[in-house]
């Protein structure tokens, strides 16, 4: 690993920490973590924020690190609205005891490119991978991904 790559990753850690600090300054509560360890490196501790709402980086931005942002909601409808109230839409998870209900929410109500019921977002080469909105266009992997690299030509003879 080069010195540049360590410094670059450290900048990402600093950016993540700034997002956490700005969220706390805006009213989020820090329940766990949120402190950069002393010394060089890229490690950022597991961090939990609660009382997160729109207008905070922990709600409005992508957090590329081990930060859980807990958004309080009144009911299922408010939870779905909060999940969809984002410029991003890569993946979503529905955790529920009622799997059929979870499937309906994941398939029909969440605005994301991928959704899991009782599981975490992850890649699988057999499944198309990609998001919606500002999280991307098109798909990688599986037959959908292969089609992204194919040119189709239309010829019309009149």
- Alpha-carbon gap, residue 140 to 149, rounded angstroms: 10
Instruction: Record the tokens describing residue 146, joined without a space.
Output: 């292969």
Residue 135 sits in the same domain as residue 62: no
Task: Print burial letters for 89-114: b (CB count within 10 Å at least 16), e (below 16).
Answer: bbbbbbeeeeeeebeebbeebbbbbb
Q: Whole-prediction pTM value?
A: 0.76
Residue 95 sits in the same domain as residue 23: no
Q: pLDDT digits over 2-25, tens only? A: 444 444 455 889 999 999 999 999
Closest CA to 128 of 146, 111, 110, 112: 146
Residue 108 sits in the same domain as residue 140: yes
Residue 152 sits in the same domain as residue 83: yes
Q: Where are the alpha helices (DSSP H) in the chain?
A: 3-25, 57-60, 76-84, 99-104, 142-147
Residue 138 sits in the same domain as residue 114: yes
Distances (CA, A) of 103 to 51, 69, 98, 112: 27, 23, 9, 13
Q: pLDDT digits over 33-81, tens only? A: 999 998 888 899 999 999 999 999 999 998 989 999 999 999 999 999 9
Residue 59 sits in the same domain as residue 80: no
Tabulate helix, strand, coil % of the chain (nearest 5).
35, 15, 50
Domain that holds residue 80: 74-158
pLDDT score recorded for residue 125:
76
C-alpha torsion sign, points 7, 8, 13, 15: positive
What is the domain count for the chain? Answer: 2
């Amino acid at each position: 690993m080069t010195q540049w790559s360590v410094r670059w990753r450290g900048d990402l850690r600093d950016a993540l920490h700034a997002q956490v600090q700005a969220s706390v300054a805006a009213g989020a509560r820090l329940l766990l973590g949120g402190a950069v360890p002393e010394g060089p490196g890229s490690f950022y501790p597991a961090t939990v924020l609660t009382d997160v709402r729109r207008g905070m980086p922990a709600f409005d931005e992508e957090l590329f690190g081990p930060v859980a942002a807990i958004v309080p909601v009144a009911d299922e409808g408010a939870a779905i609205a909060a999940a969809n109230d984002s410029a991003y839409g890569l993946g979503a998870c529905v955790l529920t005891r009622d799997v059929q209900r979870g499937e309906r929410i994941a398939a029909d109500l969440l605005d994301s490119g991928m959704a899991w019921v009782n599981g975490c977002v992850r890649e699988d080469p057999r499944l198309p991978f990609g998001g919606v909105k500002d999280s991307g266009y098109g798909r990688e992997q599986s037959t959908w991904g292969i089609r992204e690299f194919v040119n189709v030509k239309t010829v019309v003879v009149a």
